[in-house]
Amino acid sequence: MKALYFAWVRERIGKAEEEITPPQGVKTVADLIGWLSGQGEGYALAFENNKTIRAALDRAHVKHDAAIENAREIAFFPPMTGG
Amino acid sequence: MKALYFAWVRERIGKAEEEITPPQGVKTVADLIGWLSGQGEGYALAFENNKTIRAALDRAHVKHDAAIENAREIAFFPPMTGG
Amino acid sequence: MAETLATRTVVRVQAETFDTAAETLALTEGRTDLGAVVTFTGLCRDEGGVLASLEIEHYPGMAEEEIGRVVEEAKQRWPLAGVTVVHRFGLIKPGEPIVLVVTASLHRTEAFEAASFLMDFLKTKAPFWKKQHLSEASSGGWVGAKQADDAAAERWKA
Amino acid sequence: MAETLATRTVVRVQAETFDTAAETLALTEGRTDLGAVVTFTGLCRDEGGVLASLEIEHYPGMAEEEIGRVVEEAKQRWPLAGVTVVHRFGLIKPGEPIVLVVTASLHRTEAFEAASFLMDFLKTKAPFWKKQHLSEASSGGWVGAKQADDAAAERWKA
């Protein structure tokens, strides 16, 4: 699936997007955050306060307990500051 | 003093303004409404539901119990419908 | 801080129409400290097609003064960087603007609240009266004051 | 009645600035049934002179969709004749506009409330992030989300 990162999540990870292939056991957004946190220093830093990280599956906001299922796109970002 | 009439108060009285010289006993706005009501059919009609009539003394809203004192201008009109 | 902002203030009562963009620019031009601008435009409705025109009578002199008093109260209540109120009188056709309120401030809440407050008090305090002229032979008549408008003004007294 | 009004709806996310007057005209042109138009413009503040520019990052695709969802909810809640939301991204200088909300309706209350609601939810739901670039050597940084904005959005849930 495609992973997108925005704002300081993007800056810490060092890329705006990538294709990821999480292992079988990764079922929820929280599982995916846990797995990504182990992918390197930048990831660990990006997700260190994972409660503050927001997620969207296929361009709709979801909570961390949401099932990923067949989503084609997941995005991680800080709380929004538009408007 | 100068009396001004607006909207249907003006239409019923048949004039937009006039100089009036109320007798000594007329102290308040309510007194003046009472006196004006006796000045002819149009006046009686204009003030028949006197609770709905608003008044201004020298261009500031006042209640019917306000003292007229040395006001130079008094205005009578229905509830406002601007905006 | 409200104290350090110069509050640009414009109050006008006029027969001619107004240009919302120009009025807004007059409040905001040359400023880089503003965060929010709210405009309210009140329009003449055709009332389902039966209205030919609206005739707005006003009390010259008092109209400007009373709007000025309402604007001063808004400035006391909210830290505003700018306020404009323009109210028309005379004959107005459906679709034409009647009244304009513009508020400018640092943050959105005060601009929204002040604009809403100004409209509620213009409705109940500013000496204007609307008479409807209908498309059909019947003459229409004076628009009655709405209890809903009094209630809207009351809510700011809490 | 809300059902019989065609609600003109415009949602755009763009780098270039916008023209509030033209956007408003697009909602109101040719209509004589409207009584109220509210516009909200959010501007880039200079933050006491220290801000050189604001850089707004967004999530292309989701930004438009999420704004669309917020607009749909506003249309469910209030009988609106028209709604426009334009949100910019990219580099924005102090004094420039960032976001525009226009609401048109028969009566003023719904136009005010819907515009305020839209802004509260754009702040907390639309995927945009602001980074400050300061005039001095220091780089500035990402703007933090405000608890006040969450609280403002919460008040519509009563």
User: Could you tell me which of A68, A73, A48 has the C-alpha nearest to residue A36?
Assistant: A48
Task: Give the dihedral sign, CA B7/B8/B11/B14.
Answer: negative
| Stronger pLDDT, D138 or A82, i.e. the higher one | A82
* Residue A44 located in a structural domain: yes
* Residue A83 located in a structural domain: no
**β-strand partners of A61:** A56
Is 60 exceeded by the pLDDT of residue A83?
Answer: yes
Chains contacting chain A through 3 or more C-beta pairs under 8 A: D
Is 80 exceeded by the pLDDT of residue D3?
Answer: no
Is 60 exceeded by the pLDDT of residue A80?
Answer: yes
How confident is the model over A70-79, as a mean pLDDT? 97
pLDDT band, residue C138 (cuts 50/70/90): low
Residues of A in contact with D146 (CB under 8 A): 81
How confident is the model over A26-35, as a mean pLDDT? 98
* SS3 state at C103: strand
CA distances from A5 to A2, B12, C18 (A): 10, 73, 47
φ and ψ at residue A68, rounded to 5 degrees: -75, -40
Residue D74's region, left for phi above 0, alpha for psi from -120 to 50, else beta, is alpha
Token pair in block for residue C143: 């628009």
pLDDT of residue D138: 67
- List the alpha helices (DSSP H) in chain B: 7-13, 29-37, 41-46
* Residue A45 located in a structural domain: yes
Residue owning tokens 């200088």: D93
Q: How far apart are the first and last CA of chain C?
A: 24
Residues of D in contact with C46 (CB under 8 A): 32-33
Residues of C in contact with B82 (CB under 8 A): 56, 58, 87, 99, 122-123, 126-130
Quote the minimal CA–CA distance from C34 to chain B in Å. Answer: 26
Is 60 exceeded by the pLDDT of residue D154?
Answer: yes
pLDDT of residue D157: 83
Mutation pick from C62, C65, C98 vs chain B, by most beta carbons of B within 10 Å, is C62
Whichever domain contains A63, its CATH number is: 3.10.20.30
Q: What rounded mean pLDDT belongs to chain A?
A: 97
* Residue A12 located in a structural domain: yes
D4-19 pLDDT, tens digit each: 457 999 999 999 999 9
* Residue B36 located in a structural domain: yes
Residues of C in contact with D122 (CB under 8 A): none
C83-124 pLDDT, tens digit each: 999 999 999 999 999 999 999 999 999 999 999 999 999 999
Interface residue ranges in chain D relative to chain C, Cβ cutoff 8 Å: 20-21, 24, 28, 31-46, 48, 94-95, 106, 108-109, 111-112, 115-116, 119, 152
Q: Amino acid identity of D128? A: F
Token pair in block for residue C7: 């509050």
Beta carbon pairs, B and C, within 8 Å: 74
CA-CA distance, B28 to B19, in Å (whole number)?
Answer: 17
A82: nearest CB among D65, D126, D144:
D126
pLDDT band, residue C60 (cuts 50/70/90): very high
CA-CA distance, A83 to D114, in Å (whole number)?
Answer: 15
Is 50 exceeded by the pLDDT of residue A15?
Answer: yes
pLDDT of residue C137: 65
What percent of chain C clears pLDDT 70, i.e. is strictly above it?
A: 94
φ and ψ at residue C146, rounded to 5 degrees: -100, 135
pLDDT of residue D27: 95
Neighbours of A31 (CB within 10 A): 17
CA closest to D44 among chain C residues: C35
**β-strand partners of C99:** C42, C87
How confident is the model over C28-35, as a mean pLDDT? 95
pLDDT band, residue C136 (cuts 50/70/90): confident
**C93 close to C53: Cβ distance less than 8 angstroms:** yes
How confident is the model over D49-77, as a mean pLDDT? 97
* Residue A82 located in a structural domain: no
Instruction: Kindly give, in sequence order, each residue whose CB lies less than 8 Å from that of residue A13, ignoring residues fewer than 6 positions away.
Output: A5, A42, A43, A46
How confident is the model over C46-59, as a mean pLDDT? 94
pLDDT band, residue B12 (cuts 50/70/90): very high
pLDDT of residue D5: 52
C37: nearest CB among D28, D41, D44:
D41
Cβ separation C142–B75 shorter than 8 A: no
pLDDT of residue D136: 79
Cβ separation D129–A82 shorter than 8 A: yes
- List the alpha helices (DSSP H) in chain C: 20-28, 62-77, 108-125, 147-154
Report helix angle C147-154 to C108-125, nearest 10. Answer: 140
B39-71 pLDDT, tens digit each: 999 999 999 998 999 999 999 999 999 999 999
Q: Which structural domain range is residue B66 located in?
A: 2-77
* Residue B58 located in a structural domain: yes
CA closest to B16 among chain C residues: C59
D112-127 pLDDT, tens digit each: 999 999 999 999 999 9
pLDDT of residue D140: 81
Q: Amino acid identity of D77? A: R
Residue owning tokens 């009563």: D158
Cβ separation D45–C34 shorter than 8 A: yes
CA closest to A73 among chain D residues: D62
Q: What angle do CA C108, D106, C43 make, to 5 degrees?
A: 80
Residues of C in contact with B46 (CB under 8 A): none
B17-31 pLDDT, tens digit each: 999 999 999 999 999
**C126 close to B83: Cβ distance less than 8 angstroms:** yes
pLDDT of residue D53: 95
Cβ separation C33–D45 shorter than 8 A: yes
ipTM metric: 0.94
Token pair in block for residue C8: 């640009």
φ and ψ at residue D42, rounded to 5 degrees: -95, 130
Q: What rounded mean pLDDT belongs to chain C?
A: 93
* Residue A46 located in a structural domain: yes
CA closest to D122 among chain A residues: A83
pLDDT of residue D1: 38
pLDDT band, residue C5 (cuts 50/70/90): low
pLDDT band, residue D135 (cuts 50/70/90): confident
**What predicted TM-score, i.e. pTM, was given to this entire model?**
0.94
How confident is the model over D12-35, as a mean pLDDT? 96
Quote the minimal CA–CA distance from C29 to chain D in Å. Answer: 9
DSSP state of D145: P
**B71 close to B57: Cβ distance less than 8 angstroms:** yes
How confident is the model over D44-72, as a mean pLDDT? 96
H or E stretch including D112? helix D108-125
* SS3 state at A45: helix
Count of domains for chain A: 1
